[in-house]
C-alpha cells in the first residue's frame, strides 16, 4: 500500500492528503470534477487498502466549501468506509468543517452524521476568500 495519497487542489477538485502512517485523512476545497468516478476512483481504492491495515486511530477531515450532487454520493461512500473501519474496533473520528455562515453546509453535515455510526464533529470556521 502507498503510505500517502496526495493530490493538489484544482479549480474543480479538492486537495487530498491521506497519510496511512498517522491516520490523518484530509479532503479540502471544492469538488465538482467533470468525471467524479474517475477522479475519486483511486481515492476509494486507497481507502479500501487502508482499511485492511489502518492506523490505530483515524481522523477523516472534510473541509469542503462547495461540492456538487455527484460528489455528495462519493462523500457518502467515503463516510461508509469510515463506518466500516469503525466497526472493526479502530478509533475513527469524522471532522466536518463548514463555513460558519453557510447553513446549508452545516445541515449537510448533520444529515451525513445521522446516516453513519462514527463519532462526528461539526466545526464552523470563518471562510476567507483568496
CATH code for the domain of 27? 3.30.750.24
Domain total in the chain:
1
Structural domain of 66: 4-125
Q: What is the pLDDT of residues 67-113, one digit of tens each?
A: 999 999 999 999 999 999 999 999 999 999 999 899 999 999 999 99
29: left (phi over 0), alpha (psi -120 to 50) or beta: left
Question: Is 130 a domain residue?
Answer: no
Q: Residue 129 — very low, low, confident or very high, per pLDDT cuts 50/70/90?
A: low
Beta strands, E only, 1-130: 4-7, 15-19, 24-31, 57-67, 91-99, 120-125
Question: Is 103 a domain residue?
Answer: yes
Question: Is 64 a domain residue?
Answer: yes
pTM: 0.94
- Are 91 and 56 a contacting pair, CB within 8 Å? yes
Question: Is 39 a domain residue?
Answer: yes
Distance CA(27)–CA(14), nearest Å, equals 6
How many Cα neighbours within 13 Å face the side chain of 111? 10
Question: Is 92 a domain residue?
Answer: yes
Amino acid at each position: 500500500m502507498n503510505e500517502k495519497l496526495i493530490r493538489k487542489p484544482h479549480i474543480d477538485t479538492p486537495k487530498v492528503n491521506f497519510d496511512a502512517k498517522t491516520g490523518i485523512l484530509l479532503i479540502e476545497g471544492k469538488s465538482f470534477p467533470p468525471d467524479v468516478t474517475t477522479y475519486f476512483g483511486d481515492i476509494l481504492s486507497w481507502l479500501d487498502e487502508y482499511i485492511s491495515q489502518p492506523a490505530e486511530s483515524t481522523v477523516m477531515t472534510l473541509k469542503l466549501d462547495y461540492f456538487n450532487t455527484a460528489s455528495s454520493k462519493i462523500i457518502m461512500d467515503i463516510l461508509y468506509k469510515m463506518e466500516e473501519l469503525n466497526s472493526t474496533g479502530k478509533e475513527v473520528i469524522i471532522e466536518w468543517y463548514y463555513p460558519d455562515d453557510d447553513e446549508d453546509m452545516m445541515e449537510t453535515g448533520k444529515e451525513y452524521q445521522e446516516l453513519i455510526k462514527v463519532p462526528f464533529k461539526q466545526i464552523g470556521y470563518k471562510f476567507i476568500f483568496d
